[in-house]
Structure 1
Amino acid sequence: MIVSEIFRSLQGEGRNQGRPCTFIRLAGCNLRCAWCDTSYAWEGGVRMSVAEVLDRVWLLNGNHICITGGEPLLQRDEVIELLKKFSLHGYTVEIETNGTRDFREMQAFASICMDVKCPSSGERSDLSLLPFITPRDCVKFVVADEDDFLYARAVMARYDIRGEVFITPVEGSDYRAIADYIVDENLPVRFQLQLHKILGMK
Structure 2
Amino acid sequence: MPGTNWPYPPPNGWTAADLDRIGGDGLCGELDALQHIELVDGELIVMAPRTEFHRRVVERLRDELQRQAPPHLAATREMDVVLGPRQRPCPDVSVVTATAARDLDRTFYQPEDVLLVVEVVSKSSEIRDRETKPRRYAEAGIAHFWRVENNSGAPVVYVYELDPASRSYALTGIFHDRLECRVPFPTDIRLDTLVR
Q: TM-score, normalised by structure 1?
A: 0.32
Q: Which has the higher helix share?
A: 1
